[in-house]
Amino acid sequence: MLTDAAVVILAAGQGTRMKSRLPKVLHRAGGKPLIRHSIDTAFQVAPVERVFVVVGYQAEKVEAETEPTGAGIIRQTVQAGTGHAVLSGRDQLEHLGGRLIVSVGDCPLIRTETLLALAELQLSSAAVATVITTEVANPTGYGRMIRNAAGSLAEIVEEKDCTPEQRAVREINSGIFCFNAELFWKHAGEIRANEKSGEYYLTDMVAIFIRAGLSVVPLKVADSNEVLGINNRVELAAADRIIRDRKIHQLLLDGVTIEKPETVTIDAQVQIGMDTIIGPFAQITGHSVVGENCRIGACSIIADSQLGDEVEVFPFSLITASQLDAKAHAGPFARIRMGAHLLEGAHVGNFVELKKTRMGKGSKSMHLAYLGDSTLGDKVNIGAGTITCNYDGHRKHQTFIGDGVFVGSNSTLVAPLEIESTAYIAAGSTVTHKVPAGSMAVGRSRQVNKEGWKRKPLTTAEATAETVLKP
């Protein structure tokens, strides 16, 4: 953390090349909007109150993503280029002094250590500014680092303005700078509109400083992925892949087994405990936490959910915003959602859906059931085909099921309803009234056997007549 540094993140552009109605910086890589990557990294480098985001195109949407983080907002009313974007924040930034780091909202892979090294180099080299660069095989679309005969940086030239020789240069500008703030503001007004585009380029600061007898020093990074700028969805997909590969690599090193890792998707902020085994095509996203010794079956999706130790999720299950305590089982083909909670050792089997439902310790619903807005005690057994009718067409109603209740197969539990502990529901019942503790409820017509019954034979006319359906 550098207490004298401020970070300004440029994020006002539309991102035309994304071909999207959404601002570029709100597209997601590794499960997070691009802008959040930049903000999170900035917070590792400078104090929160010295981090700012420049917004412009669909400003409300980008602000809504930025504000909860605590970063400040700078408004750029017209998108007149990266230099203009920084100048839009003059009132908020100039008095901060110290070092001014200019970062961009479309470069999610840059590492904190690299930003710190950039700021460090600005001090140690006594250069007025430092800039992150890298060497790439295909520099298309990037500004080129043009060096003089002595090998030091002379200017940055945008691709559109390059001569053929300049275009062949493979060292490119990341768009990320660290300036001596005082000298930056002294000279920033010297940026002129680009002849071709009419935009004010931040990159022009290099030539401006050189003219003033000041030097700009590049910090060249070896891993060019770090400075991958996202301008289109091909680059977005590439960044997403890299972030996910980094995450999976780290999890493997931390003792998580991941089968066919190239098929598995795990968001950056997910936590997974040791000796957990993750099957092919699983997705674990958002703020999910998975304990130790769990098994996440193939093709299961776990989003924003908490799983304790030794939880087993069998293949093809979907678990969202829910909690599964230690030794709980779910699936295959289970759907658990909206704050559902399986307590220790609770089991949910195939084709069972749980919504806003708590299942007590050791309770089971193994086949084909819907349990919504329900609270189940411990050791409850829910038979196959049981449905809680929680919706009357207007409102949702609650179902309470006490400890040790046995609900027979194909029961229809009409909420609001209470079934007290150790009660027994006969299979096929429709239950509409409270069932007292220890009693059995039968809510269906009794079976009638008609002994010696024979089907009446059809007449010839009946047997040969065609059935005509009248409208």
**φ, ψ at 281 (rounded to 5°):** 65, 15
**φ, ψ at 62 (rounded to 5°):** -70, -35
User: Mask of contacts with ligand UD1, 101-140, x by CB under 6 A?
Assistant: ---xxx----------------------------------
* The pair of three-digit structure tokens given for residue 72, joined into one six-digit string: 């400040």
3 CA to centre of own chain: 30
Q: Which is nearer to ligand UD1, 82 or 180 (by Cβ)?
A: 82
332 CA to centre of own chain: 24
Do residues 310 and 291 lie in contact, with contact meaning Cβ atoms separated by under 8 Å?
A: yes
Sign of CA dihedral 89, 90, 92, 95: positive
Stretch of 98-106, 114-122, 179-187, 287-295 contacting ligand UD1, by CB under 6 A: 98-106
Tell whether residue 231 is a contact of ligand UD1 (CB under 6 A): yes
H/E segment holding residue 406: strand 406-407
CB of 55 to ligand UD1, least distance (A): 8
Tell whether residue 218 is a contact of ligand UD1 (CB under 6 A): no
Q: Which of 41, 66, 76, 288 binds ligand UD1 (CB under 6 A)?
A: 76
Tell whether residue 365 is a contact of ligand UD1 (CB under 6 A): no
Do residues 7 and 50 lie in contact, with contact meaning Cβ atoms separated by under 8 Å?
A: yes
Tell whether residue 143 is a contact of ligand UD1 (CB under 6 A): yes
How far is the C-alpha of 98 from the C-alpha of 8, rounded, in Å?
13
Tell whether residue 80 is a contact of ligand UD1 (CB under 6 A): yes
- 187 labelled catalytic: no
Question: Looking at the DSSP assignment, which residues form a beta bridge with residue 440?
Answer: 424
Q: Which of 173, 224, 283, 288 binds ligand UD1 (CB under 6 A)?
A: 173
How far is the C-alpha of 38 from the C-alpha of 44, rounded, in Å?
10
Q: Which is nearer to Ca ion, 216 or 239 (by Cβ)?
A: 239
* Residue 143 partner contact from ligand UD1, Ca ion, none using kind-dependent CB cut-offs of 5 to 8 Å: ligand UD1
* The pair of three-digit structure tokens given for residue 351, joined into one six-digit string: 């084709």
- The contact set with Ca ion (CB under 5 A) reads 106, 229, 231
Residues at the site binding ligand UD1, with contacts judged by CB under 6 A: 10-13, 54, 56, 76, 79-82, 84-85, 104-106, 142-143, 156, 158, 172-175, 201-203, 229, 231
Active site positions, annotated: 367
